[in-house]
């Protein structure tokens, strides 16, 4: 992982066994987003989150992550929302529109809901670059997103 978060456990101030996480998964580029989901679940479980406290919701594509995130963030019982998607530039003519919209949208959901709402979206030039970041040689961005959610709950 290139960022500040190391794969594995995060020092946690809050009792994660009581926290509820929503994971929204885009179905476009499914083999990548499923790997991101596996990484996110592993990251949460290894930090003490209970399996039954992880709620998965699917949306058609990355563009729809924002509305899915809003619906889940609006639920009282949800503490954090993790958004997982994959947009590949070479295969997506409106790459910039989707990426910009989802980046702004997820930011807005986080600010409005005041709940950690995490951008676990791969925006790559090629499919190989996505594979490398979904459990490949550059780790798993889904796990990174889970650790980011935990770190924000500790804020």
Residues of this chain that interact with ligand DLZ (CB under 6 A) are 26, 28-29, 60-64, 85-88, 91-92, 98
Q: Name, in order, each residue with C-beta under 8 angstroms of 119's C-beta and a sequence gap of 6 or more.
A: 83, 102, 103, 106, 107, 145
State in angstroms the smallest separation of the CB of 115 from ligand DLZ.
Answer: 23
Nearer to ligand DLZ, 37 or 63 (CB): 63
Q: Name, in order, each residue with C-beta under 8 angstroms of 124's C-beta and a sequence gap of 6 or more.
A: 86, 87, 88, 89, 130, 133
Identified catalytic residue from 13, 18, 94, 112: 94
Question: Which residue is at the shortest CB distance from ligand DLZ?
Answer: 61
Nearer to ligand DLZ, 14 or 128 (CB): 128
Q: Do 109 and 70 touch, CB atoms closer than 8 A?
A: yes
- So which residues are the catalytic ones? 94
């Amino acid at each position: 992982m290139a960022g500040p978060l190391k794969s594995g456990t995060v020092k946690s101030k809050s009792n994660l066994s009581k926290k509820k996480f929503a994971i929204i998964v885009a179905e476009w580029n499914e083999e990548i987003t499923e790997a991101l989901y596996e990484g996110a679940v592993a990251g949460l479980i290894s930090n003490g989150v209970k399996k039954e406290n992880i709620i998965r919701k699917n949306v058609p594509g990355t563009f729809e992550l924002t509305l899915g995130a809003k619906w889940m963030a609006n639920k009282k019982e949800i503490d954090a929302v993790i958004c997982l998607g994959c947009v590949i530039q070479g295969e997506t003519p409106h790459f910039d529109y989707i990426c910009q919209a989802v980046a702004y949208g997820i930011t807005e959901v986080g600010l409005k809901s005041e709940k950690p709402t995490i951008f676990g979206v791969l925006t790559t030039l090629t499919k190989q670059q996505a594979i490398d970041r979904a459990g490949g040689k550059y780790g798993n961005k889904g796990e990174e997103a889970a650790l980011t959610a935990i770190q924000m709950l500790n804020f």
